[in-house]
C-alpha cells in the first residue's frame, strides 16, 4: 500500500470514530432530557471527543490535500 491508500484508510477510520462520537453526544442530550445525574459526565466526554475528532479530521484532510 502507498501513503495515499493509507491516508484513505485513515479517513475511513476517522469517519467511523466520528459516528461513535456523535452517538455519545446524542446519548448525553438524551440523559440531560431525563435529568440523569450522569449527563454532565457524558457532556464533558462528548465535548472533548468532538474536539479531538475535529482536530483529527482537519489533520487528515490536510494530509490528503498535500498528496
pLDDT at position 1: 76
The Cα 33–Cα 61 span in angstroms is: 35
pLDDT at position 24: 92
The Cα 44–Cα 22 span in angstroms is: 13
Cβ neighbours of residue 28 under 8 Å, at least 6 residues apart?
Answer: 39, 42, 43, 45, 46
pLDDT at position 28: 92
Domain hosting 45: range is 3-66
Q: Is the pTM of this model over 0.85?
A: no
pLDDT digit string, tens, across residues 10-55: 999 999 999 999 999 999 999 989 999 988 998 999 999 999 999 9
Q: How many domains does the chain have?
A: 1
pLDDT at position 4: 87
Burial of 28 (0-12, 13-18, 19+ CB in 10 A): buried
Amino acid at each position: 500500500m502507498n501513503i495515499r491508500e493509507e491516508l484513505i484508510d485513515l479517513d475511513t477510520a476517522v469517519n467511523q470514530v466520528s459516528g461513535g462520537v456523535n452517538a455519545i453526544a446524542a446519548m448525553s442530550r438524551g440523559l440531560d432530557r431525563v435529568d440523569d445525574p450522569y449527563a454532565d459526565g457524558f457532556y464533558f466526554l462528548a465535548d472533548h471527543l468532538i474536539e479531538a475528532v475535529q482536530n483529527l479530521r482537519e489533520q487528515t484532510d490536510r494530509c490528503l490535500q498535500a498528496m
